[in-house]
Amino acid sequence: MLDVERRQQMIAFIEQQNGATVEELSRHFVVSEATVRRDIVLLSKRGLVERAYGGAAPKRHQHTHGVSEPPLLKRAALLADEKQRIGRAAAAHVADEDTVIIAGGTTTWEMIPHLAQRRKLTVITNTLNIATRLAAFPHITVIVLGGTLRHSELSMLGLLMENALENLRVDKLFMGTPSIHVDYGLSADDLAEVRSDQVLMSVAREITVVADHTKFGRISTMRVAPIKRVHRVITDDSTSQEHVEALRDQGVVAEVV
């Protein structure tokens, strides 16, 4: 097991067990206690776990610098050029006859104009802004998932949305994220949004995350998924090379536009 993979699994184990001793971690991961201590020191410096006497505890309330993400309509005008480039690049991965999910966000919204020439395309979405923009293309089959409206994001969440996905299997999922950290993965602050994103990810064969440079190195309250669940990340050229190389080191396709 690679060091970075062990540390990712260690974070999950510490969270699941609500804390773990050095001895428990050593036994579980079959490494020396000295290695475990070094891992704990590294993870605590990165803000991913809390050091505790004889072990480690899960990090609590890991909000992104104490500032929650602004509502969808306020974010729409921010980094418009970067989002347009990312959206265009993401749309290039949609082929004729695909069935795809396009989740909510201001970056995924920028994909829609570039899908106009696709033939026999089916798009599933749980967001009203995506569905409304797709209405301009009657040759694209659009499936809108129902649920409880999250007003600030124009997204449909909850049990109705999750049940609708039970019998679906799609080729590709395109999703945004408020926070992406190479070690911790994808995370967000809203519990219902986290659960819905996890269900969307569970039915997709290939997952592409679209994220501008401001989303990197951030950790929100709840983890959506580890980074290894993602096939591709598309970002703009202001994202640091360190983040890009770290993604590639973990087998994620990092596309910079």
One domain, residues 30 and 151:
no
Per-position b or e across 234-251, b if 16+ CB within 10 A of its CB? bbbeebeeebbebbeebe
Query: For the segment 95-139, what is each residue's pLDDT rounded down to a tens digit?
Result: 999 999 999 888 999 999 999 999 999 999 999 999 999 999 999
Do 174 and 244 have their domain in common? yes
Amino acid 71: pLDDT: 59
Report yes or no on 107 lying in a domain.
yes
Amino acid found at 196 = S
Q: How far is CA 117 from CA 93, 101, 143, 166, in A?
A: 13, 17, 19, 30
In this structure, the answer to whether residues 47 and 94 fall within a common structural domain is no
Give the pLDDT confidence of 143-163 residue by residue, as tens digits. 999 888 888 788 898 888 889
102, 173: one domain: yes
* Single-letter code of the amino acid located at 202: S
Whether residue 154 sits in one domain with residue 218 = yes
Residues 137 and 212 in one domain: yes
Residue 169 has pLDDT above 70, yes or no: yes
State the burial class of residue 202 (Cβ atoms within 10 Å of its Cβ: 0-12, 13-18, 19+): middle
Identify the CA nearest to 213 among candidates 242, 189, 184: 242
Do 159 and 123 share a structural domain?
yes
Q: Which CATH number goes with the domain that contains 51?
A: 1.10.10.10
pTM of this prediction exceeds 0.85:
no
Q: Are residues 7 and 122 in the same domain?
A: no
State mean pLDDT over 193-214. 94
- Domain with residue 192: its CATH number is 3.40.50.1360
pLDDT, position 130? 95
Q: What is the domain extent for residue 10?
A: 3-58
What is the total count of domains within the chain?
A: 2
